[in-house]
Amino acid sequence: MISRSTIDLVFETARLEEVIGEFVQLKKSGSNFKGLSPFSEEKSPSFMVSPVKQIWKDFSSGKGGNVISFLMEHEKYTYPEAIRHLARKYNIDIEETEQSDEQKEQASEKESMFLVSEFARDYFHDILLNNEKGKAIGLSYFKERGFTEKTIKKFELGYGLDQWSAFTDAALSKGYDKKYLEKTGLTIVNETKQFDRFKGRVLFPIHSMSGRVLGFGGRSLTNEKKTAKYLNSPDSDIYHKSFVLYGIYHAKQAIAKEDNCFLVEGYTDVISFNQNGVENVVASSGTALTSDQIRLVRRLTQNITILFDGDAAGIRASLRGIDLILEQGMNVKVLTFPEGDDPDSFSKRVSTDELKDYLKNNAQDFINFKVSLLMEDAKKDPVKKADLIREIVVSISKIPDRIQQEVYLQECARIMNISENVLFNELAQLFKKSQKEASRKTTQEVMDEPVLQKTMQVEKIDEKFKYEKEIIKILLLHGNKKADFQQLSEEEVSNSKKEYYSNIVAQEVYLSLQEDEMEFTDTLFQQVYFDVINQLNQEEPIGTDSFINHENIEISSLVTNILMDDEKHSLSNWARKEVIVKDVDAELAKMVTDAIFNLRRVLIDEKIASLVVKISQESSNESILEEVVDYSELKRKLFKHLNRVI
């Protein structure tokens, strides 16, 4: 178990904006940073990071927390995994205490799969570098491909011995469970035997954005027709190929820095570019590009450049990816290499400067690319030319930004020597058609719904929860402040005779709740309240750091959401829109009093309701009726103070 002192040091050292900046493209917004949500699809930023408070909030999904909770949400780490990741990032030595057998058994299945995958990475890498057969076959292959030892170590390349169960036997001997070897796909198990999936292959570990090993790509070194040239890990609880891009871990910082991502097809394309000084490159690993993979890049940049080799047939087959990128609201350029070259071979025969110059000077706008690719067949055939124009307009229709659409239509009209009006009419027809299809789909979905599901029910608001949360929010945001509270009286008095007293907000809340012996019913609110009052009683300023970095993630999330809700207005930039936001401090005393009175009111309503039930159950109920009258009178006074009518 990781010691408390190590955990505290990790929280003190880690910078939230640095950690999240590796996964999300953040832009300065006042004292905060904002970006697109990594948890949902959106076009406008609703994800906010506060460097001062060291907390984040995603207003589109409602998630929020500290640096640990972000890694737990985004990378699906456990709490200890997130601590270890940050300790590695910031070069912090981990001090551990002995784990009990029970704690060891509580490790999650996913964590077990990650551990097996990391063992496999180290095993295959060691075989490549230190085993005689590994060096003779695997290492020789990579060196023949022109990869240096530094590059081989950076990408943790490996080799699986051409033996039926060499890896499986090694893993089992180290105590790894066969169940997880099978679940990760590293070992194939059938009724009679078990054997290595990647035997006789050079291996490319596939990492998550944070560097965890998700799976492997294996290349066969034989020319047997029955053997697949490339073999990937099967989809599992930790690896979904349509959600992963090869090289994203090594590329993420360069992508954000260069504000552009080069997209290639294969593992060796990525590695060769890296070795030649171009690091902002990822690969779809031989699979068709997916929307989820594009969104992975969009967290880091709005710009993608697709790199194709000189194979025209392969280029045509990949054009669908351009439309997918445009649908995500991203900017896409396309670049081809000279005939006979691909990204791997080209990067090996030119210098770093020559490679960068070629990438800079030869990237084409997607319209120019499509025209140059398809115009040769179409220029002498009016029908084919019309089809090409329609195809380009279809691509433009995928762009969500109307201004960009218009600019691209004008460019298309210029290149194809056709009237802009014709293109705009074609776009309008496409838009109208898509609206009809969407409307028809929605209508069908409504018709298909069971009748009972169509009956809308108004969700009942939990008023007690609402006001308990309001009080906790006041304590966390304003507990240390002083305010002038009105001395309440049952008599009607004029404004000139109203009396006021000054008190610390937290002290006022504490005394008011003590007076009525009110307690929080929500356990998280109760724990936060007790900790706040403990600070108050020790005459310490009320701080939020202990809550933000609380080992109970629910408390950390609760407090973070409360703190970041206070920052939500900065996303909308009300001042720029000339919308005046009320000064909270001026209304603070009223805010405190109203929250406490409303909680009292809700509790009185509950008490009256329970007494009414009691009346129906007991024969002698005169005393109970008196209680109901007393509580009703108390409720009337509360409404009077709240300026409400019963």
CA distance 414 to 371: 12
CA distance 228 to 219: 8
Indicate the residue among 89, 104, 119 that finishes a domain: 104
Indicate the residue among 88, 104, 120 that finishes a domain: 104
3-state DSSP of 527-554: HHHHHHHHHHHCCCCCCCHHHHCCCCHH
The pLDDT of residue 234 is 94
Same domain, 95 and 124: no
Q: What percent of the chain has pLDDT over 90?
A: 34
What is the average per-residue pLDDT within 188-211? 93
How does strand 201-207 pair with strand 47-50?
unpaired
Specify if 85 maps to a domain: yes
The pLDDT of residue 447 is 58
What is the average per-residue pLDDT within 190-207? 94
pLDDT tens-digit series, residues 414-467: 988 889 999 999 999 888 887 777 677 666 655 555 544 544 444 456 788 888
Q: Are the C-beta atoms of 518 and 603 separated by less than 8 Å?
A: yes
Give me the phi and psi of 65, to 5 degrees please.
Answer: 155, -155
Domain CATH for 119: 3.90.980.10
The pLDDT of residue 554 is 84
CA distance 220 to 200: 7
CA distance 585 to 505: 11
Residue 569 vs residue 496, higher pLDDT? 569
Q: Are the C-beta atoms of 229 and 247 separated by less than 8 Å?
A: no
Tokens 């706040």 map to which residue? 532
Residue 439 vs residue 126, higher pLDDT? 126
- Return the bridge partners of 27, or none: 34
Q: Does 645 have pLDDT greater than 50? A: no
Range list of H helices, 34-165: 67-74, 79-89, 101-105, 109-130, 132-133, 140-144, 149-154
Taking alpha carbons only, the member of 330, 338, 332 closest to residue 358 is 338
Q: Are the C-beta atoms of 158 and 121 separated by less than 8 Å?
A: yes
Specify if 551 maps to a domain: no
Q: Are the C-beta atoms of 160 and 124 separated by less than 8 Å?
A: yes
pLDDT tens-digit series, residues 62-117: 888 899 989 988 887 888 888 989 998 899 988 876 655 555 555 578 889 999 99
Specify if 370 maps to a domain: yes
Q: Which two tokens stand for residue 534?
A: 């403990």
Q: Does 619 have pLDDT greater than 70? A: no
Residue 375 vs residue 331, higher pLDDT? 331
Same domain, 618 and 505: yes
Same domain, 130 and 25: no
pTM for this one? Answer: 0.69
Maximum distance among all Cα pairs of the chain, rounded to whole angstroms: 102
CA distance 389 to 72: 47
One-letter amino acid at 549 equals: N
**Which strand (E) or helix (H) includes residue 202?**
strand 201-207
Same domain, 415 and 520: no
Residue 495 vs residue 294, higher pLDDT? 294
Q: State the total domains in the chain.
A: 4
Specify if 566 maps to a domain: no
Neighbours of 348 (CB within 10 A): 17
Q: Which two tokens stand for residue 140?
A: 């020789």
Same domain, 136 and 206: yes
Range list of H helices, 14-49: 16-21
Same domain, 52 and 160: no
What is the average per-residue pLDDT within 618-635? 71
Buried b (16+ CB within 10 A) or exposed e, 186-218: bbbeeeeebebbbbbbbbbbbbbbbebbbbbbb
User: Among positive and negative, which fits the CA dihedral 488, 489, 491, 495?
Assistant: negative
Domain CATH for 31: 3.90.580.10
Specify if 576 maps to a domain: no
Same domain, 31 and 62: yes
The pLDDT of residue 175 is 94
Q: Are the C-beta atoms of 305 and 321 separated by less than 8 Å?
A: no
- Among 98-102, 190-194, 247-251, the range scoring the smallest mean pLDDT is 98-102
- Among 37-51, 197-211, 372-386, 560-574, the range scoring the smallest mean pLDDT is 560-574
How does strand 500-504 pair with strand 482-486?
antiparallel
Specify if 573 maps to a domain: no
The pLDDT of residue 350 is 96
397 alpha-carbon distance from chain centroid: 28
Residue 591 vs residue 516, higher pLDDT? 591
The pLDDT of residue 460 is 55
Same domain, 514 and 633: yes
Same domain, 587 and 469: yes
> Helix or strand or coil: residue 24?
coil
- Among 93-107, 187-201, 317-331, 387-401, the range scoring the smallest mean pLDDT is 93-107
Same domain, 234 and 253: no
The pLDDT of residue 624 is 72
Same domain, 80 and 116: no
Domain CATH for 418: 3.40.1360.10
Residue 26 vs residue 615, higher pLDDT? 26
Specify if 646 maps to a domain: no
Q: Does 149 have pLDDT greater than 90? A: yes
Torsion, Cα 260 256 122 290, to 10 degrees, reads -50
Specify if 507 maps to a domain: yes
Q: Does 244 have pLDDT greater than 90? A: yes
Residue 646's pLDDT band, with cuts at 50, 70 and 90, is: very low
- Tell me which residue range forms the domain holding 180: 109-239
**CB under 8 Å, gap of 24 or more: what pairs does 149-156 form?**
151/271, 151/274, 151/275, 152/128, 153/125, 154/250, 154/274, 155/204, 155/205, 155/250, 155/271, 155/274, 156/121, 156/125, 156/205
Average pLDDT over the chain reads 84
Indicate the residue among 104, 122, 155 that finishes a domain: 104
Q: What is the CA radius of gyration of the chain?
A: 32
Same domain, 221 and 352: no
- The conformation of residue 234, written as its DSSP 8-state character, comes to P
